[in-house]
Structure 1
Amino acid sequence: MADYSLVLLSGGIGKRMQLNIPKQFLLLAGKPIFIHVLEKVDRIPEIKEIIVTCPADFLLKTEEVIREYGFTTPIHCIEGGETRQESVYKGLKQASYENTIIHEAVRPFVTEEMFQTLIQEKNENAIFGLDIPFTVLQGTTKVDGNLQRDQLVNVQLPHKYNTKTLLYAHECAREDALEFTEDASLYFHYYHSDITILQGSEYNIKITKPIDRKIAEAIYKETILMGE
């Protein structure tokens, strides 16, 4: 089984949450959201290092909080970029292993099983995704066209990629001044190669807006009752 680096994107500044602290520091069941992710990652033996991309002003605080929990996997905190894409690029440049998993600090309900499913997938490039359960139209201020939802996927993290090939794609995107919202679209743009889509989880939400905090609390209570 291959060894992995994990890049944990923890660069949010809480703008959409209307907060004066990054959303990854919000408490869920008494712990910062990103700590829930690190606790699960720390139990995955194939993940040999964790690279956390942080806002510059919160780099020391991130390191301080992490130290409190005594993780065994080596964790390196680095300054993230001004965009998500730049943060991934910086994380990949620090990755020591042939394969890299990318996850977001504000997706605390990822499970150990999801990481293992990703690792065990034979294709070295794989993502999680969900079906689109609602109608999607093309347009901004007016309808310009129909999109077929059975041909679309709601992209979730974590993802995994060959480190060198994804890093090269990021370098190409920087040269071309192209910006992508996540890595599967960036990777496919340059390689047009096969990326496996694994079945995602409706519980694996991204906590971005105030309503997401309420949903997260409900999910946490439910998962505790289910013994997960």
Structure 2
Amino acid sequence: MLERSVIIVAGGRGLRMGQDIPKQFIPVGGRPVLMHTMEQFYGYNESMEIILVLPEDQFSYWKALCRKYDFQVRHQLIRGGETRYHSVKNGLDAVSGQMVAVHDGVRPFVTPETIERCFHTAQKYGAVIPVVELVDSIRKVDGNNSEMRPRYAYRSIQTPQVFRTSVLKKAYELPFSPDFTDDASVVEAAGYEITLVEGNRENVKITTPFDLVVAEAFLKGR
């Protein structure tokens, strides 16, 4: 098996949460969201290289949380950048694995099965993202006008997005563009094809107070 790394990007400020602390540090089930996320990867593979990218001004707060909760998952702490693109680029400099995943720090419910699907498929194809089918009807909005779109033709994108490390590093040689909304968009702009695999429905990104309520309910049910 090729050596595997994960870059966990957690640069949120919690503005949509309406709270004073960044969303990745908000407690869910008695502990910060970010700790749940990191434990999913540690549980999947204890030897995996975990690289956590945070804004530098959050380092001391994170370290204090690790002491408070006796958090023992081994990881490297890397300074974040101006945008997500720059944060991932900084994290890539620390990667030693031949395969690398990039994951949102506020997606604490990714399953080991999804992680394995992504890594296994990326070994063959080089660039993989997990997706789920849409359940709501969708419409394209243009000013005051809107038009129905067939939901079967679209997918909702999740993380971890997994790549051969050589592919992702080559892609991140491209200059920054505001069109880079995730790692797949960078890799695609560099000329590589993206392969889709099945994600897991509960792998939601916690960004609003409602998401917190759902997360607490999910943890209690689990």
TM-score normalised by L of structure 1? 0.87
One-letter amino acid matched to 1:165: V
Cα drift, residue 187 of structure 1? 1.3
Instruction: Look up the match of 2:41.
Output: 41
Instruction: Look up the match of 2:136.
Output: 134
Instruction: Look up the match of 2:197.
Output: 198
TM-score normalised by L of structure 2? 0.89
Cα drift, residue 139 of structure 1? 2.9
Match of 1:156 among 146, 155, 158: 158
Instruction: Look up the match of 1:171.
Output: 173
Report if aligned partners of 1:129, 1:154 keep a CA contact under 8 Å in 2.
yes
Instruction: Look up the match of 1:102.
Output: 102
How many residue pairs align between the two structures?
218
One-letter amino acid matched to 2:137: T
Partners of 1:130 and 1:13 in 2: CA distance: 27
One-letter amino acid matched to 1:23: K
Cα drift, residue 110 of structure 1? 1.0
Cα drift, residue 146 of structure 1? 4.7
Corresponding position: 1:89 with 2:89: yes
Identical columns (%): 32
One-letter amino acid matched to 2:118: L
Report if aligned partners of 1:26, 1:32 keep a CA contact under 8 Å in 2.
yes
* Unaligned ranges ≥5, structure 2: none
Report the 3-state secondary structure (helix = DSSP H, G, I; strand = E; otherwise coil) of the residue aligned with 2:49: strand
Cα drift, residue 36 of structure 1? 0.8
Corresponding position: 1:211 with 2:210: yes
Cα drift, residue 215 of structure 1? 0.9
Cα drift, residue 30 of structure 1? 0.8
One-letter amino acid matched to 2:211: D
Instruction: Look up the match of 1:226.
Output: none
Partners of 2:42 and 2:167 in 1: CA distance: 25
Cα drift, residue 61 of structure 1? 2.0
* Unaligned ranges ≥5, structure 1: 224-228
Distance 1:210 1:181, change over 3 A: same
Instruction: Look up the match of 1:221.
Output: 220
Report if aligned partners of 1:34, 1:108 keep a CA contact under 8 Å in 2.
yes
Instruction: Look up the match of 1:25.
Output: 25
Provide Cα deviations, 1:104-136, integer angstroms capped at 9, x if missing partner.
111111122222222222333211101122232
Report if aligned partners of 2:179, 2:185 keep a CA contact under 8 Å in 1.
no
Partners of 1:164 and 1:46 in 2: CA distance: 23
Partners of 2:197 and 2:45 in 1: CA distance: 21
Cα drift, residue 58 of structure 1? 0.8
